[in-house]
Amino acid sequence: MGDKAYILVLNGPNLNLLGKRQPEIYGSRTLDDILADLRSHFAARIRIADFQSNSEDRLITWIQDYGFDEHCLGIVLNAGAYTHTSLAIADAIAAVPAPVVEVHLSNIFARESVRHTSYIAPVCAGSISGFGEDSYFLAVEALLRKKHR
Ligand code: CA2
């Protein structure tokens, strides 16, 4: 694994509010807290880049831009509510060679039925849901295991 290798963590709509609103559902830690822990946990093994946006357009553009980069080992994607609506994000994931792991903090299958459908799950390498911030750690770990790439 060369120095240039990295994993991209993408967070979608409203995840910028983590730790600031509804801690009973999403926990009290901010996205920056989680990303800092993720980076320090994996520091010896892989570099982690990240972006967050509330815009479907920006998420798709990042998937396209980084998903074709040979140094990108994979993308960890929490698409937020776009998970349940966006055929456009699913198309972008299907179009790029980089494996994408779907993550959710909450167990989407234990919530309202509208959240039980994921448009992106069929085109992702795998999905991890319900482990709080550990979902991100498990997704990075999965991407580092070569057989999932
Ligand atoms: O459980 C997850 O990670 C979700 O992707 C979170 C989305 C939700 O629409 C998905 O069904 C499951 C919502 C993210 C909203 O994040 C907030 C964080 C703090 C306060 C308010 C919203």
Residue whose entry in the numeric block shows the structure tokens 């998937």: 63
Q: pLDDT grade, residue 148 (50/70/90)?
A: low
* Cβ(104) – ligand 1 distance below 6 Å: yes
Q: Which residues pair with 51 in a beta bridge?
A: 10
Ligand 1 atom nearest 129 alpha carbon = 1
The arithmetic mean of pLDDT across residues 47-52, rounded, is 98
pLDDT score at 5: 96
Q: pLDDT grade, residue 56 (50/70/90)?
A: very high
The arithmetic mean of pLDDT across residues 130-147, rounded, is 94
Q: pLDDT grade, residue 49 (50/70/90)?
A: very high
Ligand 1 atom nearest 13 alpha carbon = 14
Query: Which letter does DSSP use for residue 103 in this model?
Result: E
* Cβ(128) – ligand 1 distance below 6 Å: no
* Cβ(115) – ligand 1 distance below 6 Å: yes
Of the residues 56, 78, 116, which should be mutated to test ligand 1's pocket, given the most ligand atoms within 8 Å of the CB? 78
Residue whose entry in the numeric block shows the structure tokens 């709080």: 132
Beta strands at 6-11 and 47-52: parallel, antiparallel or unpaired: parallel
Find, among 89, 103, 96, the residue nearest to 139 by Cα.
Answer: 103
* Cβ(82) – ligand 1 distance below 6 Å: no
The arithmetic mean of pLDDT across residues 70-90, rounded, is 98
pTM beyond 0.75: the answer is: yes
In this structure, are residues 135 and 126 in contact, taking their beta carbons and an 8 Å threshold? no
pLDDT score at 134: 97
Give the chain's radius of gyration (CA, Å). Answer: 14
| Residue bearing the CA closest to ligand 1, atom 7 | 80
**pLDDT of residue 1 exceeding 60:** no
**pLDDT of residue 22 exceeding 90:** no
Rounded Cα distance between 93 and 77, Å, is 10
pLDDT score at 26: 83
Q: Work out the percent of the chain whose per-residue pLDDT is above 90.
A: 91
Query: Which letter does DSSP use for residue 119 in this model?
Result: S
Q: How do residues 96-125 score in pLDDT, each as one tens digit?
A: 999 999 999 999 999 999 999 999 999 999
Catalytic residue ranges:
26, 104
- Ligand 1 center from residue 20 Cα (angstroms): 12
* Cβ(119) – ligand 1 distance below 6 Å: no
Ligand 1 atom nearest 22 alpha carbon = 20
pLDDT score at 35: 98
